[in-house]
């Protein structure tokens, strides 16, 4: 694990900045908390004293299945993006590669030093794309699902600049201003409290940093709307999202609709 991550971590229990001296035998120098390993090479920064998070919906329970994690990129993601967001959505237009292209350029990887956070990284496709495009910068992939992180660890093994951690997006274990950009693809609908996650993202971005995300807007087909309703998938209208992010203190909101999917970008002033 790249030790470059040590200065930007904060202790999940006492919130001390840069709490660990050594990633291999991590122990908070302030409160003594000892994180475990969520999977080989994946630091578990969920505070076990508070307890294990429980999946609050069916989709998240599926995200924690080993089978779904393994088939996610190739089958699960394209199927559900198509179902929930219709033909015009990213995965249908250019495959996952089309989305990776939009996100990499939206984050302006070439003009910024990083580090980069891939928030709710799943099996790590975006983390790998960021790591390949910014080989000199640290990329942190974070997810709450052990199964997703285990697959992400296998698939990012060749990238020495990727660090994977298990944590909750509602309480990010990083110091203020740690990142030059936060990537957050297809996960807003999964959070219990998006307001809290937006605030955390703003906190961990440095001034001028970019927050680039994608989510579901209104489904273009009846089948998509019925599936979303049955699965309890929350949708975000562009005007709602713009007003929400502005109220929290983000600037320069831009978005593009790809069928029923919404890709957006804001900046921390
Ligand atoms: C639909 S997947 C998207 C994965 C990946 N970003 C992509 O676009 O392919 C949503 C991910 O959000 C993660 N997730 C859900 N709730 C989370 C939370 N509270 N904190 C961190 N990750 C969470 C899930 O485990 C899952 O990997």
Give one DSSP letter per residue of 154-181, joined into a string.
HHTTT-TTEEEEE--TTS--B-TT-EEE
Distance from residue 40's CA to the centre of ligand 1 (Å): 19
Quick check: CB of 213 below 6 Å from ligand 1? no
Quick check: CB of 129 below 6 Å from ligand 1? no
Summarised one tens digit per residue, pLDDT across range 164-213 is: 999 999 999 999 999 999 999 999 999 999 999 999 999 999 999 999 99
Q: How does strand 116-119 pair with strand 139-143?
A: parallel
Average pLDDT of the chain? 91
φ/ψ region of 146 (left if φ > 0, alpha if ψ in -120 to 50, else beta) reads: alpha
Q: What is the mean pLDDT of residues 145-151?
A: 97
Ligand 1 pocket test target in 190, 234, 263 with most atoms within 8 Å of CB: 190
Confidence at residue 55, expressed as pLDDT on a 0 to 100 scale: 79
CA-proximal residue: ligand 1, atom 26 (nearest):
122
Confidence at residue 218, expressed as pLDDT on a 0 to 100 scale: 79
Confidence at residue 113, expressed as pLDDT on a 0 to 100 scale: 87
If one compares 209 and 81, the residue with the highest pLDDT of the two is 209
- Cα dihedral: 156, 192, 211, 246 (round 10): 180
Ligand 1 pocket test target in 61, 99, 122 with most atoms within 8 Å of CB: 122
Distance from residue 187's CA to the centre of ligand 1 (Å): 5
Domains of the chain: 35-267 (3.40.50.150)
Q: Predicted confidence band at 90 (pLDDT cuts at 50, 70, 90)?
A: low
Q: Predicted confidence band at 56 (pLDDT cuts at 50, 70, 90)?
A: confident
Whether 230 has a pLDDT exceeding 90, the answer reads: no
Distance from residue 183's CA to the centre of ligand 1 (Å): 12
Residue 183 CA to chain centroid, in angstroms? 6
């Amino acid at each position: 694990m790249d030790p470059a991550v040590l200065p930007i971590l904060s202790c999940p229990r006492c919130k001390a900045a840069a709490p660990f001296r050594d990633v291999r035998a991590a122990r908070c120098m302030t409160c003594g908390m000892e994180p475990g390993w969520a999977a080989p090479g994946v630091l578990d920064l969920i505070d076990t004293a508070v307890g294990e998070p429980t999946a609050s919906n069916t989709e998240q329970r599926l995200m924690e299945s080993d089978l779904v994690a393994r088939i996610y990129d190739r089958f699960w993601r394209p199927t559900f993006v198509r179902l929930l967001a219709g033909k015009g959505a990213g995965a249908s237009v250019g495959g996952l590669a089309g989305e990776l292209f939009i996100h990499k350029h939206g984050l302006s990887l070439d003009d910024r030093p990083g580090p980069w956070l891939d928030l709710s990284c799943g099996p790590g496709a975006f983390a790998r794309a960021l790591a390949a495009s910014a080989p000199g910068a640290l990329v942190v992939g974070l997810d709450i699902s052990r199964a997703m992180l285990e697959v992400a660890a296998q698939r990012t093994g060749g990238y020495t600049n990727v660090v994977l951690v298990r944590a909750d997006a509602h309480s990010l274990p990083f110091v203020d201003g740690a990142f030059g950009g936060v990537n957050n693809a297809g996960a807003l609908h999964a959070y219990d409290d998006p307001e809290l996650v937006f605030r955390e993202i703003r906190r961990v971005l440095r001034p001028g940093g970019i927050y680039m995300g994608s989510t579901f807007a209104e489904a273009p087909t009846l089948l998509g709307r019925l599936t979303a309703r049955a699965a309890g998938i929350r949708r975000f209208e562009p005007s709602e999202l713009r007003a929400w992010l502005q109220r929290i203190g983000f600037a320069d909101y831009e978005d593009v609709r790809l069928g029923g999917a919404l890709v957006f970008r804001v900046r921390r002033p």
